[in-house]
Every structure is written in C-alpha cells, then in structure tokens.
Structure 1
Amino acid sequence: MTQALTGPVKPAKSGNRKAVVVLLHGYGADGNDLIGLSDPLEDHLPDVEFRAPNAPERSAMNPMGYQWFPIPHMDGSTETQRDAGMAASIDLINAYIDGIEAEGVPASKIALVGFSQGTMMSLHVAPRREKQLACVVGYSGRLLAPERLPAEIRTRPPVLLAHGTADPVVPFSSMEEARQGLEAAGIEAATLGCPGVPHSISPDGLVAALRLLKTWLD
C-alpha cells in the first residue's frame, strides 16, 4: 500500500504521550475540521495525543475537502465506486492505527472519535480489529451493514453514540438503529440524544465523550 493517511496532530499536553485519540472527519471536510476538539479536552486528558487524518479522496461535492467514500445519491457516484472507496479507506485506517501501535501505544489506549461519515468508518473498523481499541465515540452517524457485523466482529469496544434530534443530514433515528445493530453483535452502546441540535457536535455530546475517554484512556 503506497498511500498513507496524514493530517494534523496535537501532541499530548503533558509531553508524555500515553494514549491517542484518532478523530475521523465527515464527508467533504478534513482533519482540521475536528482537531479543534482537542482544545476543550486536552486539559482533562493531558497524556493523550490527538490525531485527525484526512480521508484519502478529494470530495466531489467539496474539492477543498475529503471523503472516506463517495455517496451515490449526493455526488453521482456508482455503488461500485462507493464500495471500492470504503474498502480502501478501511485498509488505510487500519494501517494508520497499526502505525500508532508500532510507535508503542497499545490498542487499549487508542480511541476512535468520528463525526458523520467518520462515525460510519469508526463503527465499521473498530469491532473488526484483532486487538480491542479503548472505545469509540460516534457523532451524527450510522452503522453501515449491521447485518454483517455479528459474523465479522472480533472485538467489542465500548461505544457512545450522540446525535442531534434536529439533524437534517443523517436522521436522528439512525442513532437507535445503530445501537440496536451494535447490541445485536454484543457491543454495549450508550446513546445521547441532543435536543434541537442539527448536524453538529453539541457541548453535552462533548462532555459525554470526555467521560468515556477518561474512563478508558486515563
């Protein structure tokens, strides 16, 4: 594999990295869109490094941003292109996590935090890895192909799903559908509905994520 994911990195505030949070952005965005989440979190997680890799493909809808896979009903791509894009991104994300482990950070101290399409990737990748990751936080996303998960699952990291009730992009109902799909595969998934919040990350969603991250990364 010649391509590798790159993007902004926020070093551990303490200067002593013990854990890593990987932030996976949404469709048409980039790593800079999420690396700012480290600002309110780093004082509470001083030994955590934050990384926000850019997805591998430029977005057809926003050439300044990236996509983990194309979305046929939005950008005119085919289902074959969508599936190929997702498969390539899965391999690249796994290689990215493998690289963090190779630096000496154990899987148990690596968390995935996704937004929208980044949530979809996080929920797909994490439970299929051989070594269990610390946890997964998914904002405003959905679980892709839930029917395949019970047969493909290898680990069961704790999951938090947060979703705005006024999301016009990914329906709020997707959160409950994801919870059911995860729990059918034996994954404990906590949920947080954020009243009146659109397709974004709310302060209460960030607080809930901090609680989970402190539990598993401290």
Structure 2
Amino acid sequence: MASSGNNNTNANDGKYTAAMIFLHGLGDTGQGWSDSIGAIIPPYCKLICPTAPSIPITLNGGMKMTSWFDLMALSADGPEDIEGIKKANSLVLKMIEEEEAKHSIPCNRILIGGFSQGGALALHTALRHPKSLAGVLAFSCWLPLHKEYPAALNQANKGVPIFQCHGDIDLIVPRIWGNKTADILRPLLTTYNFKVYPGLAHSSSNEEMKDAAAFIARCLPPK
C-alpha cells in the first residue's frame, strides 16, 4: 500500500502538529486526491493519501482494481464484505497509530476523510475508534454495516465532528444512500452535518471543497 503526501514539507521545519488521512474511491489511487485535498488543508497539517490494494470486485465480475474491500451488491441492504471491511479498518488504524507513535501527533489532531468507498471506510473507522478523532470528512458515501448501529458506535467518538456531503444527482452512490446514513447518524452524534449539493453527480465541486476547507480549519485549528 503506497501513500502520497502533500507539498507542505516546510511547515514548522517538517514538524506537523496535525494530520489528515484521506481515502480514495474504487479504482482510484491516493495520488488522485492528494493535490485537491492538499490545497485545502492548513500548512501545519500532514496529508496522507494511501492507495488501496488491488483486489477482485464481485460487482464488476471479479475484475481486479484498487479497492479497500469487496463490493457485492448495488442495494444498500445487500450483502457486505464484512471481513474485507475489518481488514481495511485495520489498515487505517495502523496509519493513525503510526502518526501517534512515530510522529507525536495525537489522535484528537488526526482527521480522516474519503470519497465514495473511501468515505464509507472513514465513517466506519471513526465511529468505532476507541479514542476521539479530530473529525471526519465524508464525500458521496454510505455507512458500512449500518445494521450494527447504534450498538457499534464507540462513545469516545459520539462527539466527533462529521461533515457528510452528497450530490443530489449521484447515480453511482445514490443520494438515498447518503440520506439513509444521515438518518442513522443524526440522532447518535452531537456534531453532525449532512449537506446535499444540487446538480452534483458522483464527483466534487468548488462549493463542496470550500465547505470542506472550512470544516478542516474548524477541526484542526493552529496549535
């Protein structure tokens, strides 16, 4: 699994006080998002954009592509790759632990985010994490293993700020999936915001990125 950083290498002589882990969507790479996310984070924030392993995807007839876990159905209530989700979750946990242990960035200064499948994994990881994170930025995604909530929520992250975004004409991850996720999370969390963007498909927009930048700045203020 490779990773790609941002261009803020001179911030505080290379000593970052915060970090953001951003997870790409199906078939993409970390490099596909590193420039756009790198442009909206503060200079003291380290950016980590890992690339998922290449695995066979059931939904695509077994074709191999970069993916955090297998996708098995188009329905929000269809079968899910439970073991694959757990394995992917472990990868993200290792990244968080490495920032804490090797780079002295505390968990509450680490924000995780992602697009589509990556956003789903970001939500999954944060909601079950045993320590409070700085926040979650979730683009065009859904909540994996949603039937396990509210029991699956770790109370340490009940107050984690979550900003979930979705386009209203998304045909890949339909808006109804985002709505269903919001219906589950809104009553469970104290700092949760779900915003729908008119005219946006399975992509990002300037308005969404401006909102994301403001959210990151609130979650990761200067130390």
Pairwise same-fold verdict (TM > 0.5): yes
The aligned counterpart of 1:151 is 151
CA RMSD in angstroms, aligned pairs only? 2.1
Classify 1:170/1:196 alpha carbon distance in 2 versus 1 (closer, same or farther; 3 Å): same
**5+ residue gaps, structure 2:** none
Map residues 1-218 of structure 1 onto 2, 5 A cutoff.
Answer: 5-12=1-8, 14-16=10-12, 17-42=16-41, 45-58=42-55, 60=57, 63=64, 65-73=65-73, 82-102=81-101, 103-154=103-154, 155-156=157-158, 157-218=160-221
Aligned residue-pair number: 207
Classify 1:59/1:18 alpha carbon distance in 2 versus 1 (closer, same or farther; 3 Å): farther
Which moved further from structure 2: 179-188 or 161-170?
A: 179-188
Q: Secondary structure at the match of 1:86?
A: helix
Alpha-carbon distance between aligned partners in 1 of 2:211 and 2:11, rounded to the nearest angstrom = 25
Q: CA deviation at 1:58?
A: 3.6
Q: CA deviation at 1:186?
A: 2.8
Alpha-carbon distance between aligned partners in 1 of 2:179 and 2:190, rounded to the nearest angstrom = 14
Q: CA deviation at 1:34?
A: 1.1
Residue pair 1:27, 1:59 contacting (<8 A) in 2 also: no
TM-score by length of 1: 0.87
Residue pair 1:115, 1:141 contacting (<8 A) in 2 also: yes
Q: Deviations over 1:104-162 (max 9, x none)?
A: 00111110111000111011000211111101011100112223132122222110111
Amino acid at match of 1:129: H
TM-score by length of 2: 0.85
Alpha-carbon distance between aligned partners in 2 of 1:59 and 1:66, rounded to the nearest angstrom = 9
Residue pair 1:160, 1:189 contacting (<8 A) in 2 also: yes
**5+ residue gaps, structure 1:** none
Classify 1:199/1:54 alpha carbon distance in 2 versus 1 (closer, same or farther; 3 Å): same
Residue pair 1:119, 1:138 contacting (<8 A) in 2 also: yes
Alpha-carbon distance between aligned partners in 2 of 1:12 and 1:176, rounded to the nearest angstrom = 35
Amino acid at match of 1:211: A
Residue pair 1:150, 1:184 contacting (<8 A) in 2 also: no
Alpha-carbon distance between aligned partners in 2 of 1:162 and 1:212, rounded to the nearest angstrom = 12
